[in-house]
Chain A
Amino acid sequence: MRARLGLRFVALGYLALLLAIPVGLVLYRTFQHGLAAPVDSLTSSDGAHAFWLTLEITAISVAVNTVFGVAMALLLVRSRFPGKKLLSALVDLPLAVSPVVVGLALLLVYGRTGWFGTWLTDHGVRVIFSTPGMVLATIFVSLPFVVRETVPVLEELGTEQEQAASTLGASSWQTFWRVTLPAIRWGVGYGVVLTTARALGEFGAVSVVSGRLVGQTETLTLRVQNEFERFDLTGAYAASALLAVMAIAVLLVMTALERRRRAT
């Protein structure tokens, strides 16, 4: 009994030191001198732009990674081909590679002097220092989550229900939409939430490819850094607080999904 209480104390203390106190402090600092200053900072045109840009990049990345992730999971679970293990390992690559390196790599490929960069510039497409590059970077770093959450549910589902659907006259498309997807929806949903969380908080890769242009390529995470460097601590705290609130919202959705997933 005492051992268990001790363990609980250590675990909670650890969480408090690492998580609760720093985040709490950020919130405290944000609202230390009232609501007006942080609200002004966030509703300023640059602040609002950072918020909407963050949402835009997150929405595109999540959409792309959901479609890609489900397709990739189907490929990994339902088909056999040489190099499958390698492909499966590649999917995890973004977890292992530092985001800064990802950013740098994108710069080398799409930058003005990069591989595709010259061609792209000639055709008037700007990837680096612009939203497309930031979206690419975010897609890359948040790629594994839907795949990793969907693979185990697909494996558990097996193929019998799909076979039953096909004997009942369903095409593969109908089978996917009516049988497979509904059966794996909680796993996919969980992956989507994790992807969202990762995309919202991405800093390193996006920082490299964005150029951090205020009012143009500044997301909320970049804004924290920019404001801090400009000694506008209120602005930095406000952006941080907004990110924290968004993270908590995502966390709540995640908990709810996890409960649903266990129930079924």
Chain B
Amino acid sequence: MISVKGIEKSYGDFKALHGVSVDVPAGSLSALLGPSGSGKSTLLRVIAGLERPDAGTVQIEERDVTDVSPQRRGIGFVFQHYAAFKHMTVRQNVAFGLQVRKRSRDEIRAKVDELLELVHLSGWADSYPGNLSGGQRQRMALARALAVEPNVLLLDEPFGALDARVREELRSWLRRLHDELHVTTVFVTHDQREAMEVSDQVVVLNEGRVEQIGAPVEVYDKPANDFVMGFVGPVTQLGGEIVRPHDFDLFQDPAGGAVEAQVERIVPLGFEVRVELVLGDGSPLVVQLTRMESELLEVREKEIVYARPRGSATSPGPRLRREPENLLG
């Protein structure tokens, strides 16, 4: 369990975190999700002890570690660019944490063999990181972090430097690994799909503040505000409200509550079809249908259709910012 309370952090004039509080349940896999500059990496580094907060506390496993060095926090940290020890072999990299803890040679060997097996790098034990692919390096970094049996595992955009296919593989592999090991894990990402796919809990950050904390479905279906709604999925605007493009019904004839629109363009996207509409007042509206729906409806470009939001996920409106409590007032 990680408990972060009221973290403030500034770099000169730039305020990276404004009183951030987050709880990460024991054994869960949580994502810190946000655009760049949202403070997600800073928050992770504060948890790790790599950055010192200006105010606030960090607890790991019921222990206040705010003033504890990263060395003694019992964490595993994985960097976006791997931070591999280039002058050491894969085996030496993974063994590092155990060696500085002065474990016996036999114990180290057994543990490293086990971990290399786990991350599928047994055949690469004596290679140098320079000879590994990005995905392999990141798996090595993960094994290195896990070797010391950390209480919590922290990953800073772990797949950010990898190409799309490897990313996806590693993503589902990380999920399976977590299900096997159950170590409390926090990872940082700017990719909402990655957060949705992998995590149990999503913490959405923006401009140094927590916008919402919840399960992926909750954040997607019940976003706390427009920002979250727009960040975790596609949105389109209808009469000042934002709606998900796939939350529309289209009709060929006028229907109750439906607005009239002209079909401007139809874009096939594989399984789905994106229908770009123009409303009477000239404003655009994007609706996403399944291929089947669009075929049944027989939509054609230039035709008039009627669109009605289903209303399963709308935002309560512009974000309600929780200002830090005024302690003096």
Interface residues of A (CB under 8 A from B): 160-161, 163-171, 174, 178-179, 182-183, 264
Contacts and interface: CB of A to CB of B under 8 A. Distances in A.
B261 interface: no
Contacts of B75: 167
B86 interface: yes
B83 A164 contact: yes
B148 interface: yes
A165 B70 CA distance: 10
B220 interface: no
A217 to B, nearest CB: 43
Given A161-B83, A161-B85, A179-B85, A171 B77 contact: no
Contacts of A168: 76, 96-97, 100, 144-145, 147-148
B69 interface: yes
A178 B93 CA distance: 11
Contacts of A264: 86-87
Nearest to A163: B50
A182 B144 CA distance: 19
B71 interface: yes
A174 B100 contact: yes
A167 B85 contact: no
B76 A167 contact: yes
A170 B71 contact: yes
A182 B69 contact: no
Given A160-B79, A163-B70, A164-B79, A169 B97 contact: yes
Given A163-B77, A166-B71, A170-B71, 17 more contacts: A161-B83, A161-B84, A161-B86, A164-B77, A165-B100, A166-B50, A166-B70, A167-B49, A168-B97, A168-B144, A168-B145, A170-B97, A171-B71, A178-B96, A178-B100, A182-B87, A264-B87
Interface of B: 48-50, 69-73, 75-77, 79, 81, 83-87, 96-97, 99-101, 141, 144-145, 147-148
B268 to A, nearest CB: 44
A169 B148 contact: yes
User: Taking each of A163, A169, A171, A183, which has the highest tally of chain B beta carbons within 10 Å of its own beta carbon?
Assistant: A169
A171 B97 CA distance: 11
B46 to A, nearest CB: 13
A97 B101 CA distance: 48
Given A163-B70, A183-B86, A183-B87, A169 B101 contact: yes
A14 B76 CA distance: 59
Contacts of B72: 169
A153 B12 CA distance: 28
Contacts of A163: 50, 70, 77, 79, 83
B162 to A, nearest CB: 17
Contacts of A160: 79, 81, 83
A78 to B, nearest CB: 14
Contacts of A182: 87
A141 to B, nearest CB: 32
Contacts of A164: 77, 79, 83, 85, 141, 144
A167 B96 contact: no
21 contacts: A160-B79, A160-B83, A164-B79, A164-B83, A164-B85, A164-B141, A164-B144, A165-B96, A165-B100, A166-B70, A167-B48, A167-B70, A167-B76, A168-B97, A168-B100, A171-B71, A174-B100, A179-B85, A182-B87, A183-B86, A183-B87
B50 A167 contact: yes
Contacts of B49: 167
A174 to B, nearest CB: 5
A75 to B, nearest CB: 20
B79 A169 contact: no
A259 to B, nearest CB: 17
A166 B69 contact: yes
A170 B69 CA distance: 11
A145 B222 CA distance: 63
A168 B72 CA distance: 9
Given A163-B50, A164-B77, A178-B96, A169 B71 contact: yes
